Amino acid sequence: MRFKNYIKLLALTFTPKTCRSILDWTPFQGGDTLNKIIDDHNASCLKCYKRTGLLPELVEKYVEESGEGISVDLRDLSKVDKLRSYDFAVIRILLFDLDSIGSETSELNIIRNLLLLSLGRQFQWYYLLQVSHSSGWASRASEFLGLPVLPTKPEILPNQDAFKDFLMRLCKAYQDNLIVLGQPPSPSLGTIGPTDKLASRIYRSAIRRMANEIRDATIVRDLSKTDAKNLARQVSLQEFTLARIAAQVRMQTGNQVIVDALREPVINMQIEPTIPFKDMRKVSLVTLQLNRTIRGLPAEQRKLLSDLGVEGKRFVAVHANREGIWNTLDSLKGTVNATKFSAVVPHGFKI
């Protein structure tokens, strides 16, 4: 059994001349190579999945569909010009070698700019792990201020064990979420029809994203295990509710549905008692669909369409039916078809 999904570690260092690649680099004096550390971590992380108490066939299913290991990006700072902002969709760990970089800033400026560009596509947190073979360097974490880059505590890792402990914390925080997220909430709505079956498929496709976001919120906010589990339940409820709305619209239009405007960011969620999937209420929503090609539209209108999630004629974006959305549509001058509709959500669900 092996992981099929990975987040990447980028080593902010220059590969020593004695190494064939960055995998042969030893981040800690007298320690193991980076390749061995990561291989050992992935093996230990797999063992954690096996100790969940789930049946072996379920463990294998979790690992195959949603389990997540760590891999090393083979580029180092000498190839920083080969990196692109979209690479940081999967690069989540920045391993900063203070000895190699010293007081240089040019390569770090490139990394910072790439991180800024990546945030235009998707907001996510990055973990900064600083290492040094000597004790003469100060932390460089302040150079990432203003970016969603989270340094470890302490900011400079003292030894290899501290490095391995942090990686295992990432593994367990992610894995604990999968247990909660593994099955969507069961709506108390009687017979489950085609819409709910489609919603379940949409929900399952989002499990890795949810688990990543909950893990990040757990570490950034330093949540207890109980609070993290309650947060996972809230996220699960939100995602299945939005999946049911998406399924309802897709069944009617046949198009891909974007519900991002209705989703509360996990990092901002207040931890509250889980809302049961009953005591349902109706909410008023509106679908937005482009009625012409984006090409040729003024830049200001293209920016507004992007902000609204209207990505093309084969996509439908869903928003709450509020006055602000109609004011925005007025400025688009008929480029978007807007249709009101109602959906059913749990009574305490925020839209």
Q: State pLDDT tens for residues 155-201.
A: 999 999 999 999 999 999 998 888 888 877 765 555 567 888 899 99
pLDDT greater at residue 231 or residue 105: 231
Q: What is the number of other CB atoms lying within 10 angstroms of the CB of residue 37? A: 22
Mean pLDDT in residue range 248-269: 93
Q: Which two tokens stand for residue 300?
A: 């200001």
> Residue 254: is its pLDDT beyond 80?
yes
Mean pLDDT in residue range 232-255: 93
Mean pLDDT in residue range 77-85: 91
Query: Please, which contacts does 183-188 make with residues 24 or more away whose CB atoms are closer than 8 Å?
Result: 184/236, 184/239, 184/240, 184/243, 185/236, 185/237, 185/240, 185/277, 186/277, 187/240, 187/244, 187/277, 187/278, 188/276, 188/277, 188/278
Reported as a pLDDT band with limits 50, 70 and 90, residue 7 is very high
Classified as helix, coil or strand, 161 is helix
Reported as a pLDDT band with limits 50, 70 and 90, residue 54 is low
| All domains in the chain, ordered by first residue | 6-178 (3.40.50), 186-346 (3.30.1390.20)
pLDDT for residue 100:
86
Share above pLDDT 90 across residues of the chain, in percent, rounded to a whole number: 59
Contact criterion met (CB below 8 Å) for 247 and 202: yes
Cα–Cα distance between 351 and 348 in angstroms, integer?
A: 9
pLDDT for residue 303:
84
Q: For the chain, what is the mean pLDDT?
A: 89
Please tell me the pTM assigned to this model.
0.88
pLDDT for residue 157:
96
Reported as a pLDDT band with limits 50, 70 and 90, residue 236 is very high
